[in-house]
């Protein structure tokens, strides 16, 4: 009997994942990954509640349950990475780094060492022979967050929810009477919950007032409390008065200046040419040519021509894409297959 360790977060997706695998005859062990336990001002970290919920479901299913403590590794490999990227003026995606470094490396390795044959998670994705495929529910598809996982790791991974929509998952959990069937999905930063990135970063970086400057006129329009808190295309939180809305089109981290414009057609907001570094391919390196790309989670797939350069990959788009931001990921597809991707320069 194949022994599978299921990452159980205390949510409905991972709960149903465990239930389905039990029904399919696997020897299932539930594992709660203790990644983050720190409270934020005015926000209690929900980890203890999530752990309790995961335990309750494990008891319901009659499966063994373990806790893997990854908090130190998580702080170094995900949280510190995220803070450093923001300090350098980029906009990272911590969920992608969590999947790369924790769930499909640290969790996988620890599970295998502990006697598991495979791992499973509640991600909306499909895997076949180490190839990552988009989920049936295109609205919930999470392959964007999984593009830095290795093909080798995927050969030891199960994604039981890949063929279902979110409403179907809720219904199936209800039918089975799972404790977490009606639990709301978590929002906000992946590891903290209902907290915004500004509130989180404020715990680690000093607020440093600086100027908000009109890119076209050079006029100082107001003050901000740190260029680190602003990202390309941002409209809210600028506090620069009435009239037309302003959008962030750039920033200088050394000068601590944020540049804005009211011109929605400003070239800095739109790109047809994207350069990627830190490129990762899940399986084989694809040939240069035409593929589909996703510039952010839930963005539509758009056509792009991929070519290779000495220091990375260049993507030429048929149409412009808005607010393609340094530090974020662009993920590359060949129809349903997720090939990999890279970080926007």
Model pLDDT for residues 321-333, shown as the tens digit of each residue = 999 999 999 999 9
Q: Nearest-5° angle of CA 303, CA 150, CA 79?
A: 90
- Catalytic residue among 83, 190, 240, 306, which? 190
**Where does residue 120 rank: exposed (0-12), middle (13-18), buried (19+ CB within 10 A)?**
buried
Q: Is the pLDDT of residue 191 over 70?
A: no
Q: Is the pLDDT of residue 55 over 90?
A: yes
**Residues with Cβ < 8 Å from 80, sequence gap 6 or more?**
none
pLDDT score, position 147: 98
pLDDT score, position 239: 79
Element (H, E) at 31: strand 27-34
Mean pLDDT for 173-185 is 95
- Domain chopping of the chain, boundaries: 3-175, 206-261, 267-344
Least confident of 42-51, 54-63, 222-231, 300-309: 42-51
DSSP sequence for 111-162:
HHHTT-SEEE---S-EEETTEEE--S-TTT--GGGGTTS-HHHHTTEE-TTT
Identify the band that residue 196 occupies on the pLDDT scale cut at 50, 70 and 90: confident
Percent of the chain surpassing pLDDT 70: 98
For 206-261, give the CATH class: mainly beta
3-175 matches 206-261 in fold: no
Identify the band that residue 236 occupies on the pLDDT scale cut at 50, 70 and 90: confident
Q: Is the pLDDT of residue 188 over 90?
A: no
Q: Is the pLDDT of residue 194 over 70?
A: no
- Catalytic residue among 12, 19, 98, 158, which? 98
98 labelled catalytic:
yes
- Contact assessment for residue 237 and residue 283, using Cβ atoms and an 8 Å cutoff: no
- pLDDT tens digits for 238-259? 878 778 899 999 999 999 999 9
Q: Does the pTM exceed 0.85?
A: yes
Identify the band that residue 187 occupies on the pLDDT scale cut at 50, 70 and 90: low
pLDDT score, position 244: 87
Name the average pLDDT for the chain: 94
- Contact assessment for residue 21 and residue 5, using Cβ atoms and an 8 Å cutoff: no
pLDDT score, position 190: 59
Any alpha helices (H) in the chain, and if so which ranges? 12-23, 47-61, 71-74, 80-87, 94-98, 107-113, 151-154, 166-175, 197-201
- pLDDT tens digits for 16-27? 999 999 999 999
For residue 324, CA distances in Å to 69, 141, 338 come to 35, 20, 19
The CATH architecture one would assign to domain 267-344 is: Beta Barrel (2.40)
Best CA proximity match to 276, nearest among 213, 206, 324, 220: 324
For 3-175, give the CATH class: alpha beta
**Where does residue 124 rank: exposed (0-12), middle (13-18), buried (19+ CB within 10 A)?**
buried
pLDDT score, position 193: 62
């Amino acid at each position: 009997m194949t022994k599978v360790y299921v990452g159980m977060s205390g949510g409905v997706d991972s709960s149903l994942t465990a239930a389905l695998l039990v029904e399919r005859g696997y020897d299932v062990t539930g594992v709660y990954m203790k990644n983050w336990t720190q409270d934020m001002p005015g926000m209690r970290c929900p980890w203890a509640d999530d752990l309790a919920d995961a335990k309750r479901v494990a008891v319901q299913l009659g499966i063994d349950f373990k806790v893997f403590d990854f908090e130190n590794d998580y702080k170094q490999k995900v949280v510190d990475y995220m803070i450093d990227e923001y300090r350098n003026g980029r906009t990272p995606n911590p969920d992608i780094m969590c999947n790369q470094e924790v769930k499909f490396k640290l969790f996988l390795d620890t599970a295998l060492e502990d006697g598991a044959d495979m791992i499973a998670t509640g991600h909306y994705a499909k895997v076949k022979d180490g190839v990552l495929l988009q989920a049936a529910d295109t609205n919930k598809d999470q392959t964007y967050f999984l593009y830095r996982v290795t093909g080798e790791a995927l050969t030891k991974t199960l994604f039981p929810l890949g063929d279902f929509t979110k409403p179907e998952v809720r219904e199936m959990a209800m039918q089975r009477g799972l404790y977490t069937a009606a639990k709301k999905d978590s929002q906000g930063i992946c590891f903290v919950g209902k907290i915004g990135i500004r509130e989180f970063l404020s715990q680690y970086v000093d607020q440093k007032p600086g100027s908000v400057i009109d890119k076209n006129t050079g006029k100082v329009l107001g003050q901000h409390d740190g260029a680190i808190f602003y990202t390309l295309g941002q409209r809210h939180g600028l506090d620069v008065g009435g009239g037309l809305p302003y959008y962030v089109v750039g920033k200088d981290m050394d000068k601590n200046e944020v540049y804005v414009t009211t011109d929605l057609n400003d070239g800095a907001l739109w790109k047809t040419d994207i350069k990627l570094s830190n490129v990762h391919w899940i399986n084989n390196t694809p040939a240069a040519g035409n593929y589909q790309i996703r510039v952010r989670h839930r963005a539509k797939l758009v056509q792009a021509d991929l070519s290779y350069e000495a220091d990375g990959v260049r993507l030429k788009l048929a149409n412009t894409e808005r607010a393609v931001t340094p530090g974020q990921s662009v993920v590359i597809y060949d129809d349903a297959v997720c090939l990999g991707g890279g970080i926007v320069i």
